[in-house]
Structure 1
Amino acid sequence: MIPEISLDDYFTHILPPLPESLNGKVDAIVQNLKDSGVITPRGRWKGFPRNPKAFEKKTVVFKKLSEIFDAFFVEPNIVSHHQRGDKSRPDGFVKEKNTEGKLKVEPTHAWVDLAHPQEFKLEDDPSGVDNDASKVVYSMHQILALDPRRRFTTGSTIENCTTRLWFYNRSPFFTTESFDFIKDHERLVHLYLSLAFSSSTDSGWEPSIKVSRVDPVTRERTYEISVSTKQGDKVVTETYKTVMILSEVSTDDMGRAARIWLVVDSNGYYRVLKDLWLDKNRAPEHEIRQEILRDVFKTQNQAAVDRLKSHMLTPLAHCKVCIEGVEDDTIAVMMLFQLKVVGALSPQTAESVSQSLNSQPPPNSQHESKEARAPKVHARYHYRIVFAEYATTIYDERNLGNIFRSVEDVLCALVQATSTGMRQSQGVSWVTLSMPNSALIPSAHEIRTGTPYFMAAEALSHAYLFQSQPLPTTIRLPFRLDCQPQRDDDSIINDEALALAPAPPFIYNGLHDLESIWWILIFVLFFNEDKAHPSPRPEERQSEMNHRFNGRMDSTYRRDFFRIKFSEKFDAVSRFMSPSFRQSLCTLLSLSQSLQEAYTLSEKDYPDINDSPEIIPYMEWRTAVKSESLLKATSMIELHHVKARAQASFDSPTSGAGRKRERGGDLELLDEQKSKKSKWARDDSGRSRNNVNAE
């Protein structure tokens, strides 16, 4: 179900504002168009004597939209390019042109230059609505996922005469009520004037990230990123130049869009810069770190603080990103206020749309009641932090033994952090874990946050999953280092009883931190193989990889895998992994059994949850991962990536000729036909006019 807002709200609060020279002049411009014959006495656009469905080829009929404003027109077979190798074709778009010298090595039409993608259909029928919706959402997603400078984007779809406008950012996405572009002249004129004369900031580009270089061969872009840190009464701004991307695993889904770069500061030192969108009621990372260290000092001593610091990254600079002096967020700045939802568009076949948003497929009706309930929209703010340390990431580490050693360091840090009485690790950057609740926020947080690949099963489900399992004993079982799955029929969770029990507020705890570590280790084994002893069944491994790590927040594959199936299918999993991974898998099996026992102990008095640090098996886990036999065996294993990622949960729409998503290597642009280009124009205020492209 796609929420709809009113056209008045969209034009008032979403579209870029018109320049002062055009304020209040839309009606006069429409009248001028009538006087000049662009709008005929019959009240139709001159280029549209008949409705679009009367024509046979949309590339002919919708091209006439460009003639209305003498806009920059692009033939439909030009490919929007990005170095990831994605090929797709929005039917039209707005393209920003840099008057200060365009980077010549860029493809003519790259995703990073495009805004307001448009999709067209000649017929106004449910299948056309579905197809256009999936395509425009895909295009808007691509724009945000591939370009770190982008804060939001807009789009539009037209089926025959029926026009809808779209909005997509790091939190909500929605469409509008429809209007007839043939008859509603004022709407169409306002829309195109707004897009043509808007500034890059108003159109969704981030002004504090600039492109400094584009590699002529790989087309990789180097960015200059500014971070403005408050130091007392002063604000100190440092600009960092990117060297390479370390992680952008979160950018393919609508959400925090976390990107991490290796950067160089103005003095030539390597640093690490993290850029992401945090939930509005989450404390920034540098404040959480300070709170943890203060608590450690209060409950222990300075030596304990120093030990903990040795496991934590050191912040050098940090800021909440501002747009024209105002802290940027997905509601107050981008949308100005909480928009009122007046209806819902529910495509009949919107699998690609629903998958892109990690949601359940919508009901089989084209449009729902105007009384449709507004979905919850969680505000996020834009945050950056720079760290002093740079090291090899777990993802890039090639020695399996070193990965287990790094996990032991993380466990040491977690022990020290939770020894202060804090409920959890607070999401400080010592490893890529799920982002738990901040101790600075007294109430439970209702949003499932974190990288879906590594989120605990309970955090992913946002529910307690182990309360119905009987405790095998009143005390914790000894930690097992054997490889035999242990499970009886009574250990199956009673889902019916779970559903009938009153549900307490779900609160993240330290057990979820351990499970995130477990998922990181599982991820390492699934996405790698021993270079000397490769997997005997790579197809089975790939299939399991796609299920376990599809990136969808509503997926139950990983939840059930941790709760039950890893133990049940241990031998099957072992058969499609590299043979030398057997001991590592045995360790992970024991870790999961130990953790599930702790979960059961924590939830045995449900709805009362025992989240005390004493039940968390830190010491048992440390003993397991630093086992001499494990480290000896794994230190001889050189890891080899088997695939860059699991099969994407978001893919290009399968409908529509030629729309195909490819990720392997750089792809050449298709042959381009020369396009008509409107001359540069400036409005009365001196602002450069963007070029509007439409088919």
Structure 2
Amino acid sequence: MRTPNDEAACRYASDEITATATIAEFRLGKSTDDRMDNERKLVQAATEILFNDPCRRCVSGITIEGSSLRFFKFLRSHVQCSTGFNFHKEPRQLAWFFLFAMYGSMEALGYDLSVERIPSEADDGTARARYDFRYSTEGRMFQTDGDPISEERAHKIVSRATRVWKVKEIRTNNGQIFEPLEFLPGEKVLKDVWSYRNALLEGEIQAKIFKELRDGAEEAQQYFLTILVDHVVLLSNGERDITPMCPGGKMVEWTRSDSPFLSRSRSSMQACSDTMSGQKPANPEGNALKSSLCRKHVRTVFEGCCKSVYELSDVSNFLRCVTGCAKALEFMQKAGFVHRDVSAGNCLYDPVKNVGRLADLEYAKPHNAMSASEPKTGTPDFMAVEYQLKDWLFYEWDVPSDPTLTGRTPHPPFIVHHLHDLESLCWVYVWFFHFRIPHQSIVKLQETGVDIVKDLHNNIDRSSREYFFCGVNGNGPRSALITRPWPGVKKLLGLLRPLYPSHPPLLAPIGFFMKLQEAYMTIQKADLVQAPDETWRLPVSTTVTGDLYTSFGQLMRDALDSLGEERLPVEKLSKMLDLCSPVVTADTAEVDNDEGAEPGQPPHKKLKMLNNGPAAGRKRGE
């Protein structure tokens, strides 16, 4: 089965997978182990279909153990399962299922009628064994151009299932395609995602931010993506595509067992659990799906094609990217919004406009509308430390509890705010200087001895594992860089300085962690204010000012000025030792933009699917 890191992308989806209407697993035995084995294989098959075929919205299936049959439905918000019944005694339900599989409409079977899978042609006009996809949205048609920019999240069944494509818009006349096929000029990007039902669309959030900025909206727009289309996908009957819940249905309760079979297969069951984004077995009393947890199918088209930090191959463009994203965060702070998902994947560089843009506003919210119950969002490696801990680091707890005396209470609720977004951008900066190494510096260091390069690589690798590869709750070294920043900053400067002997200002932004500490302490030592919901909160809106963003922006400008016209190409850290080969020189080496095993990115090792035989619709031996 193809996985996210395989060279083949979802354009290569086989005819067998696309033609698979439903899936089924059968075992003669009736034991718990038989049920578990069927569940694992059915999950594997559903994952394969939903990931490999962008034309699928959901998939149905059945499992049979002896004479007991269960119906399953795999959707992007949940997995449903019926109560098992004896189909020997009640064959009518099984007969209806077969009729549904043979004669049901394509949409009822789980296909997305707004996406068409079409054969692609090679440059010489000959057919080839790969496919493009044609998306219809808001009366406009877009055809994918190349493999997906991103699709890793679609590998989990219960997830946002985000797919991002570079697309070309097709010239149409009242919905009809011209013959021969014509494309409109200009690059565009299409994002297909399953958002929570009550979530605002990105275009709606962006409009609210610009409305709050008033006269500053025009200047702010250059630091955000230009949205051309943003809407919920419609079904053939005109209704919005929202994951349904069968009447009286419950979320699936996965079988658990302490048998020897389970101990041998625990890793396989874990793979199933990971694939479905950790959907846990529901308890019998409370496993009904809340309406707010249903997902809606959203499609957004952006003007232009940007590169994320992961894709940037030189320091100068990275600095421009971070500078633009810092300006975007400053405008969001002025509008009163918190992004909550600043990461290397959401910090984009526009090579046409030569400016950085901040993307993915789905989680952005007004700070004054947020509560302590908000779930964590974002990429762990770029989360602010306080956000990971869900606690204030500098708040003094030993104060009188009577707010009428001091204006403070001992336990103000933790609510993520603007400084946490800015800290996330600082972590993006630290990430880049750990995992992107100047090519010319390695070549020069090699002249002093290969062992020096190896030692430097090992030290940077060790440091990267201290600050990154962490979970959602963070770790000690990350916390220390906020609570006691100077030792950590000094260590990082000493570690990275040999790579930038001619450009000291490039490392100066790492010292910004000390300014962040001062800003955090200022906020948490100020008197609390009472919010409309009568809770006592930190005075974020009055203590976070534009001065901090101005200071950070000046550091970026100084770093850019130190480069002048130099681009300073970089290599991945994983390629650093390869450059020690005698055959590599500064004149012949090429920058490798292929992304590898790094934190904050899609899985840094291939996801392994279960080796339980082929999924339904595939030939044995393939």
Equivalent positions of 1:284-295 (< 5 A) are 284-295=201-212
In the other structure, the counterpart of 1:117 is 23
One of 132, 137, 149 as aligned partner of 1:246: 149
Aligned partner of residue 156 in structure 1, secondary structure = strand
Q: Which runs of 5+ in 2 are unaligned?
A: 172-183, 259-265, 349-356, 399-408, 444-452, 529-535, 575-594
Deviation at 1:204, TM superposition (A): 1.6
Equivalent positions of 1:518-597 (< 5 A) are 518-525=426-433, 528-532=436-440, 533=442, 536=454, 555-556=471-472, 558=474, 562-564=478-480, 580=499, 587=508, 589-597=510-518
Equivalent positions of 1:8-407 (< 5 A) are 85=6, 107-110=14-17, 112-214=18-120, 219-228=129-138, 237-244=139-146, 245-253=148-156, 254-265=158-169, 266=171, 267-297=184-214, 301=215, 304-331=216-243, 334-335=244-245, 339-340=249-250, 345-346=255-256, 349=266, 350-359=269-278, 370-374=284-288, 378-407=293-322
Q: Give distance in 1, aligned partners of 2:41 and 2:434.
A: 32
Q: Give distance in 1, aligned partners of 2:121 and 2:106.
A: 23
Q: Deviations over 1:116-158 (max 9, x none)?
A: 3333444433344334333332332333333332222233333
Deviation at 1:322, TM superposition (A): 0.5
Q: Deviations over 1:206-248 (max 9, x none)?
A: 11111233467985431111221xxxxxxxx111111133333
Q: Give distance in 2, aligned partners of 1:176 and 1:549.
A: 42
One of 394, 398, 408 as aligned partner of 2:323: 408
CA RMSD of aligned residues (A): 4.6
Residue type at the aligned position of 1:609: L
Q: Give distance in 2, aligned partners of 1:213 and 1:578.
A: 51
Q: Give distance in 2, aligned partners of 1:153 and 1:638.
A: 44
Q: Give distance in 2, aligned partners of 1:426 and 1:569.
A: 25
Deviation at 1:160, TM superposition (A): 3.8
Q: Deviations over 1:22-55 (max 9, x none)?
A: xxxxxxxxxxxxxxxxxxxxxxxxxxxxxxxxxx
In the other structure, the counterpart of 1:622 is 553
CA contact (8 A) 1:158 1:164 kept: yes
The 1:292–1:86 alpha-carbon spacing in structure 2 relative to 1, beyond 3 Å, is closer
In the other structure, the counterpart of 1:637 is 569
Q: Deviations over 1:571-607 (max 9, x none)?
A: 9989998963797995564344443543454445786
The 1:152–1:520 alpha-carbon spacing in structure 2 relative to 1, beyond 3 Å, is farther
Deviation at 1:612, TM superposition (A): 1.8
- Tell me the TM-score normalized by structure 1: 0.62
Residue type at the aligned position of 1:562: R
CA contact (8 A) 1:423 1:611 kept: no
CA contact (8 A) 1:419 1:613 kept: no
In the other structure, the counterpart of 1:98 is none
Aligned partner of residue 194 in structure 1, secondary structure = helix
In the other structure, the counterpart of 2:519 is 598
With CA pairs under 8 Å and 6+ residues apart, which has the higher RCO, 1 or 2?
1
Q: Give distance in 2, aligned partners of 1:520 and 1:84.
A: 23
The 1:628–1:577 alpha-carbon spacing in structure 2 relative to 1, beyond 3 Å, is closer
CA contact (8 A) 2:363 2:377 kept: yes
CA contact (8 A) 2:13 2:53 kept: no
The 1:211–1:273 alpha-carbon spacing in structure 2 relative to 1, beyond 3 Å, is same
Aligned partner of residue 313 in structure 2, secondary structure = coil
Q: Give distance in 2, aligned partners of 1:470 and 1:369.
A: 38
CA contact (8 A) 1:587 1:624 kept: yes
Aligned residues: 514
Aligned partner of residue 626 in structure 1, secondary structure = helix
CA contact (8 A) 1:283 1:440 kept: no
Aligned partner of residue 167 in structure 1, secondary structure = strand
Q: Give distance in 1, aligned partners of 2:458 and 2:61.
A: 39
Equivalent positions of 1:675-690 (< 5 A) are none
In the other structure, the counterpart of 2:579 is none
CA contact (8 A) 2:3 2:608 kept: no
Residue type at the aligned position of 2:76: R
CA contact (8 A) 2:55 2:117 kept: no
CA contact (8 A) 1:563 1:596 kept: no
Say yes or no: does 1:517 pair with 2:438: no
Aligned partner of residue 425 in structure 2, secondary structure = helix
Deviation at 1:283, TM superposition (A): 1.9
Residue type at the aligned position of 2:133: Y
Q: Deviations over 1:325-368 (max 9, x none)?
A: 4443444xx33668445966446544223333444977xxxxx8
Deviation at 1:198, TM superposition (A): 1.9
Deviation at 1:438, TM superposition (A): 3.3
Deviation at 1:561, TM superposition (A): 5.3
Determine which structure has the larger helix proportion and give its number.
2
Aligned partner of residue 247 in structure 1, secondary structure = coil
Deviation at 1:403, TM superposition (A): 0.7
CA contact (8 A) 1:144 1:150 kept: yes
Deviation at 1:609, TM superposition (A): 2.8
CA contact (8 A) 1:165 1:176 kept: yes
The 1:580–1:156 alpha-carbon spacing in structure 2 relative to 1, beyond 3 Å, is farther
Q: Give distance in 2, aligned partners of 1:671 and 1:261.
A: 31
Aligned partner of residue 69 in structure 2, secondary structure = strand
The 1:464–1:344 alpha-carbon spacing in structure 2 relative to 1, beyond 3 Å, is same
Q: Which runs of 5+ in 1 are unaligned?
A: 1-79, 88-102, 229-236, 363-367, 472-499, 661-667, 673-695
Deviation at 1:407, TM superposition (A): 0.7
Higher alpha-carbon deviation: 322-331 or 201-210: 322-331
Q: Give distance in 1, aligned partners of 2:613 and 2:505.
A: 44
Q: Give distance in 1, aligned partners of 2:515 and 2:318.
A: 20
- Tell me the TM-score normalized by structure 2: 0.68
In the other structure, the counterpart of 2:374 is 446
CA contact (8 A) 1:467 1:603 kept: yes
Higher alpha-carbon deviation: 426-435 or 171-180: 426-435
CA contact (8 A) 1:574 1:585 kept: no
Aligned partner of residue 164 in structure 1, secondary structure = strand
Q: Give distance in 1, aligned partners of 2:43 and 2:111.
A: 18
Residue type at the aligned position of 1:184: E
